[in-house]
Amino acid sequence: MNKLRIVLAAQLLVFLVWGGWLLSSRDADSPEFYLATEPVDPRDLISGTYVALNYAISRPEPHGCRFGRQYGKIFVKLEDKGKTADIAGGPVPLYEATDCARAPGHGALWAEAALQYSGRGDTLTYGIEKFFLNENDPRKDARSGEVVARVKLGHGRKLMLLDLVRKL
């Protein structure tokens, strides 16, 4: 078999496995919940227009979430503390960060995040900071407080962003 065909087969296999993993992660048997978010609208070089999302859980307040400059992977405990948002289907709870740890705890909803330095100081990123949409989608112009993010926990405790929902 031609060596270049082996390269092609390996490349296709990577995309097949990765695509399968993402699909199964999105369909994982875990609850969906909502997060408060503040959108802005830049453009990605390789994926097109998206809404960049800043989350309150990216700068968690709890004392356990202060790691100094120990950048890297951490786990954040997300809980319903009573805040809600009104959307078309009725009021939904908004989850908040209540604790952080280097290893996930048991029982509660622990999401993986990366603590890193950004231009505005130390920030937690979850891999749900971009919502890609069509240029004509009105949500592209959404402002702070107008939308909430519908998310769920996928494989490896990674959050998956499912939708950006307008508040009433």
Q: In the numeric block, which tokens belong to residue 131?
A: 């919502």
Q: In the numeric block, which tokens belong to residue 9?
A: 């087969």
Over the window 81 to 100, marking each residue x when it contacts another protein by CB under 8 A and - when it does not, the resulting string is: --------------------
Q: Which of 51, 56, 57 is nearest to 39 (CA)?
A: 51
Distance CA 26, CA 153 (A): 8
Cβ neighbours of 163 (radius 10 Å): 13
Which member of 42, 107, 119, 138 binds another protein (CB under 8 A)?
119
Q: How many helices (H) and strands (E) does the chain have?
A: 1, 10
When the beta carbons of 72 and 107 are compared against another protein, the nearer one is 72
Q: Considering only 57-65, 76-84, 86-94, 121-129, which stretch makes contact with another protein by CB under 8 A? A: 121-129
Distance CA 116, CA 108 (A): 24
Q: Does 65 bind another protein (CB under 8 A)?
A: no
Give me the least distance between CB of 14 and another protein, in Å please. 6
Q: Does 71 bind another protein (CB under 8 A)?
A: yes
> Which parts of this chain interact with another protein (CB under 8 A)?
2-5, 7-8, 10-12, 14-16, 18-19, 22-23, 26, 44, 46-50, 68-72, 114, 116-119, 123, 125, 127-132, 134-135, 160-162
